[in-house]
């Protein structure tokens, strides 16, 4: 694996120096920021210096092209070194992002910069949201199993480019306060190889989508970037399906008693609370998720790879890990990972 992040800033400082005024000095927004479970976050733009909230979507996409590439290149290069694989050996590069698009895209630019083979296959997964790393990982693993050739998954998310206009313009509300209190920028990559002597093995993938709640989480393209809609019902809906989805993932050979670790996407502290309760997890099972949320915020699709990487560092003995991430749909994606 490889992780890359842009400059860091403190949650309390960014509230006092920017979002307090941006929210119209809202008491409700202040409580949301204070209770987000985030202490530090990363951003390619500092709104105190460069306020992108009134930029057009075109301006934001232009900036995405500039900022995403070096982060993506750093994360993927780190993963290749970690796996002792040269870029020319890759058969597939899958790039996941819901925060920016361009053609030629990151997949083509990275292939050229890192010296990939001309027969490299490329896959771009867009606009699936925070759970997208897991279906991306499934596609990469399927390729490796079929072709017996290394492949890489790269998630790049620059959520800071989608800062919405201020309360003074009648846009910033509680839903936006929640989004802006949590989301952060990062790139995360993982290299998958056939028959690796060490590492985590990718097993079964399972998902559950509750289409009765499609309107509870949205990510729409607007004239001022991408705008999130986020209902307070989201944690409870996801928790309702967590146990059945995990049991289905593990069946028929395993049960939750065989699970050694959980990599749960930290969509927010309340999501971790209700999912932990639904799965009857001890608080220690969510330590890695809460650490990533506290130190990095919610980096959308990159986050679940960051949690898995932290779990591997915290639990060198390995074992069976259940990875779980959530997003629009409402959708819950899970993966069984085993090994160290």
pLDDT in tens, 146-200: 999 999 999 999 999 999 999 877 777 888 999 999 999 999 999 999 998 888 9
Contact 139, 122 (CB under 8 A): no
Long-range contacts of 19-24 (CB under 8 A, 24+ apart): 19/47, 19/177, 19/180, 19/181, 21/166, 22/47, 22/53, 22/166, 22/167, 22/172, 23/166, 23/167, 23/172, 23/177, 24/166, 24/167, 24/168, 24/172
Residue whose token pair is 């991306």: 136
Q: Which of 134, 225, 231, 118 is nearest to 188 (CA)?
A: 134
Separation between Cα atoms, residue 209 and residue 47, nearest integer Å: 35
pLDDT given at position 102: 92
φ, ψ at 289 (rounded to 5°)? -65, -45
Q: Are strands 121-126 and 92-97 parallel, antiparallel or unpaired?
A: parallel
Predicted pLDDT of residue 325 = 98
User: Measured in Å, how far apart are the chain's first and last C-alpha atoms?
Assistant: 12
pLDDT given at position 197: 84
Residue of 71, 61, 72 lying closest to 102 (CA atoms): 61
pTM of the model: 0.96
Structural contact between residues 140 and 152, judged by C-beta atoms closer than 8 angstroms: yes
Radius of gyration over every alpha carbon of the chain, rounded to an integer in angstroms: 19
pLDDT for 158:
98
Residue 91 neighbours by CB distance under 10 Å? 19
Q: What is the pLDDT along the chain (340 residues), one digit of tens a residue?
A: 999 999 999 999 999 999 999 999 999 999 999 999 999 999 999 999 999 999 999 999 999 999 999 999 999 999 999 999 999 999 999 999 999 999 999 999 999 999 999 999 999 999 999 999 999 999 999 999 999 999 999 999 999 999 999 987 777 788 899 999 999 999 999 999 999 888 899 999 999 999 999 999 999 999 999 999 999 999 999 999 999 999 999 999 999 999 999 999 999 999 999 999 999 999 999 999 999 999 999 999 999 999 999 999 887 777 999 999 999 999 999 999 998 7
Q: Which pLDDT belongs to residue 167?
A: 82
Distance CA 321, CA 323 (A): 6
Q: Which two tokens stand for residue 334?
A: 């899970």
- For 193, other C-beta atoms within 10 Å of its C-beta total 18
Whole-number Cα distances in Å, 81 to 84, 190, 191: 5, 11, 10
Task: Count the neighbouring beta carbons within 10 Å of the beta carbon of residue 24.
Answer: 11
Q: Where are the beta strands (DSSP E) in 159-244?
A: 185-192, 200-209, 217-222, 225-230
pLDDT of res. 66:
98
Q: Which of 98, 130, 155, 299 is catalytic?
A: 130
| DSSP for 240-285, written as a single string | HHHHHHHHHHHTTT--GGG--EEEE--S-HHHHHHHHHHTT--GGG
Residues 6+ apart with CB under 8 A from 266: 37, 272, 289, 290, 292, 293, 298, 303, 307
Q: pLDDT tens digits for 254-276? A: 999 999 999 999 999 999 999 99
pLDDT of residue 316: 73
The DSSP annotation for 220-248 comes to: EEETTEEEEEE-TTHHHHHHHHHHHHHHH
Q: Is 299 a catalytic residue?
A: no
What structural domains and CATH numbers belong to the chain?
2-192 (3.40.47.10), 200-339 (3.40.47.10)
Write down the pLDDT at residue 300. Answer: 98
The Cα 330–Cα 210 span in angstroms is 5
């Amino acid at each position: 694996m490889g992780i890359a992040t842009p400059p860091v800033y403190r949650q309390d400082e960014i509230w006092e120096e920017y979002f307090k005024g941006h929210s119209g000095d809202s008491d409700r927004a202040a409580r949301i920021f204070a209770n987000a479970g985030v202490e530090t976050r990363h951003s390619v733009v500092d709104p105190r210096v460069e306020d992108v909230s009134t930029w057009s979507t075109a301006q934001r996409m232009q900036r995405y092209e500039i900022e995403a590439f070096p982060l993506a290149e750093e994360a993927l290069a780190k993963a290749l070194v970690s796996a002792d694989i040269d870029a020319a050996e890759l058969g597939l590069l899958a790039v996941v992002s819901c925060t920016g698009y361009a053609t030629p895209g990151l997949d083509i630019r990275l292939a050229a910069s890192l010296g990939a083979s001309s027969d490299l296959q490329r896959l771009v997964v867009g606009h699936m949201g925070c759970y997208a790393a897991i279906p991306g990982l499934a596609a990469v693993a399927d390729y490796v199993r079929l072709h017996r050739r290394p492949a890489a998954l790269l998630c790049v998310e620059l959520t800071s480019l989608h800062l919405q206009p201020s309360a003074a313009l009648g846009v910033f509300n509680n839903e936006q306060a929640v989004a802006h209190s949590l989301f952060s920028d990062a790139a995360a990559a993982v290299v998958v190889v056939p028959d690796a002597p060490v590492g985590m093995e990718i097993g079964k993938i399972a998902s559950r989508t509750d289409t009765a709640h499609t309107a509870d989480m949205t990510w729409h393209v607007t004239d001022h970037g991408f705008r999130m809609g986020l209902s307070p019902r989201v944690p409870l809906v996801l928790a309702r399906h967590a146990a059945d989805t995990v049991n289905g993932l593990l069946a028929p050979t395993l049960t939750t008693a065989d699970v050694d670790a959980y990599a749960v996407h930290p969509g927010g502290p309340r999501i971790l609370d209700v999912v932990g309760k639904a799965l009857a997890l001890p608080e220690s099972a969510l330590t890695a998720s809460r650490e990533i949320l506290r130190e990095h915020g919610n980096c959308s699709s990159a986050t679940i790879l960051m949690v898995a990487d932290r779990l591997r560092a915290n639990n060198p003995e390995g074992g069976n890990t259940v990875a779980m991430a959530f997003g629009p749909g409402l959708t819950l994606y899970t993966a069984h990972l085993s090994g160290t």
